[in-house]
Amino acid sequence: MKLFSSVNDVADINALVKEALKLKQNPYANQDLGKNKTLALIFLNPSLRTRMSTQKAALNLGMNVMVLNIDKEGWALELRDGVIMDGSTVEHIREAAGVMGQYADIIGVRSFPGLRNREEDYSEMIFNKFVAFCKVPVVSLESATRHPLQSLADLITIEELKTTARPKVVLTWAPHIKPLPQAVPNSFAEWMCKADVDFTIAQPKGYELCADFTQGANITYDQDEALTGADFIYVKNWSAYEPYGNILGKNEEWMLTNEKLKITNDAKVMHCLPVRRNLELSDEILDGPNSVVVHEAGNRVWAAQAVLKQMLESL
Ligand code: CP
């Protein structure tokens, strides 16, 4: 594997999940694979889980790891071509990414959307420039439109905890005070549409995701209808795709509570984290027996390790 930016880069998602679960049983079996290989993790935005789990995964494989918070510690990057750089930017992404590729065998990049220009965000302008100029394999640590390491960890979690062969999985919109990217729900939808699950998306009117990511999903504006009989509930806020990046209303009634869980099949509750308590998800859910959010975050290690292992094998 030379690129991990979406589910479309994976030849067989079931095999990748199996590989991740095998690594979970025996994390240090491939220590020689990463010997004398270096992973560079480049962050243009904050992170806790992605940063630590991917580092841990690389260490388990015997790799060396470098982390650069380029937004705070690097030179201000110019992304546009053909401009006279007489403003605030100091280094062009062409040189910056090219140089990083000299120091690392694999590069991970996190680059959130600006949420102002949909065309620019959905073209994955920044992520794709890193891929084009660094000349080494690249793994997405969350891009403008997708978060594939999160989605793989989510699928691993569902595979581990499911009690029926084809569980009902519901992605439900949740309230928030800030406009958030569509990357996590886009990505989750894209992976669930390829997985062997019965997949439903519930959202208030106006929060429809880009249809490219939801082909095959059941889509409803009725949260109760969606939650009925659910085995897994994936809670997440996202801003509108149209008008792009907007919050359309408070919709506080969409926050998941124990009362709402009563109509589910004792559903396990998932969230990618970080989560705002009592806004997106209630204390009673997060502190209750149905929440699997910390277990899910733990699986980020095995998702990253499975992907890095495939990349190392292709070097
Ligand atoms: N879920 C997730 O990606 O968490 P971080 O933003 O903390 O990495």
Distance of alpha carbon 315 from alpha carbon 294, whole angstroms: 33
Asked, as a colleague might, if the bond just before 137 is cis with ω within 30 of 0, I would say: no
Distance of alpha carbon 79 from alpha carbon 237, whole angstroms: 29
Do 276 and 190 share a domain, yes or no?
yes
Those residues whose C-beta lies under 8 Å from the C-beta of residue 22, and which sit 6 or more positions away, are: none
Do 172 and 288 share a domain, yes or no?
yes
Do 137 and 20 share a domain, yes or no?
yes
CA of 141 to the centre of ligand 1 (A): 9
What's the rounded mean pLDDT across residues 288-294?
Answer: 98
Q: What's the pLDDT score for residue 58?
A: 98
Structure tokens at 232: 């897994």
What's the rounded mean pLDDT across residues 193-207?
Answer: 98
Q: Is residue 47 lining ligand 1, measured as CB closer than 6 Å?
A: yes
Do 286 and 205 share a domain, yes or no?
yes
The gap from C-alpha 102 to its chain's centroid, in whole angstroms, comes to 27
Contact 312, 34 (CB under 8 A): yes
- Number of helical (H) and strand (E) elements in the chain, helices listed first: 13, 12
Q: Is residue 49 lining ligand 1, measured as CB closer than 6 Å?
A: yes
CA of 49 to the centre of ligand 1 (A): 5
Do 173 and 185 share a domain, yes or no?
yes
Do 105 and 243 share a domain, yes or no?
no
Do 141 and 247 share a domain, yes or no?
no
- The count of structural domains within the chain is 2
What is the tens place of the pLDDT at every residue in 259-284? 999 999 999 999 999 999 999 999 99
Take atom 3 of ligand 1 and give the residue whose Cα is closest. 50
pTM (two decimals) = 0.98
What's the rounded mean pLDDT across residues 216-237?
Answer: 98
Mean pLDDT, the chain, whole residue set: 97
CA of 11 to the centre of ligand 1 (A): 25
Do 289 and 159 share a domain, yes or no?
yes
Q: What's the pLDDT score for residue 197?
A: 98
Q: Is residue 310 lining ligand 1, measured as CB closer than 6 Å?
A: no
Q: Is residue 150 lining ligand 1, measured as CB closer than 6 Å?
A: yes
Q: Is residue 5 lining ligand 1, measured as CB closer than 6 Å?
A: no
Distance of alpha carbon 10 from alpha carbon 53, whole angstroms: 20
Nearest by Cα to 206 from 255, 254, 246, 252: 246
Do 202 and 179 share a domain, yes or no?
yes
Q: Is residue 45 lining ligand 1, measured as CB closer than 6 Å?
A: no
Q: Is residue 300 lining ligand 1, measured as CB closer than 6 Å?
A: no
Do 49 and 116 share a domain, yes or no?
yes
How many Å is the Cα radius of gyration of the chain? 20
Which atom in ligand 1 lies closest to the alpha carbon of residue 142? 3
Do 156 and 137 share a domain, yes or no?
no
Structure tokens at 80: 């546009």
Asked, as a colleague might, if the bond just before 27 is cis with ω within 30 of 0, I would say: no
Residue 176 confidence class, pLDDT cut points 50, 70, 90: very high
Which atom in ligand 1 lies closest to the alpha carbon of residue 110? 8
Do 139 and 232 share a domain, yes or no?
no
Q: Where are the beta strands (DSSP E) in the chain?
A: 3-4, 38-43, 64-69, 77-78, 91-92, 106-110, 138-140, 168-173, 198-202, 218-220, 232-236, 268-270
Nearest by Cα to 223 from 256, 188, 175, 196: 256
Those residues whose C-beta lies under 8 Å from the C-beta of residue 136, and which sit 6 or more positions away, are: 101, 104, 105, 106, 107
Which atom in ligand 1 lies closest to the alpha carbon of residue 46? 6
Q: Which residue range is the domain that position 65 belongs to?
A: 3-146+300-314
Q: Is residue 272 lining ligand 1, measured as CB closer than 6 Å?
A: yes
CATH code of residue 30: 3.40.50.1370
Q: Is residue 50 lining ligand 1, measured as CB closer than 6 Å?
A: yes
The β-bridge partners of 195 are none
Q: What's the pLDDT score for residue 293?
A: 98
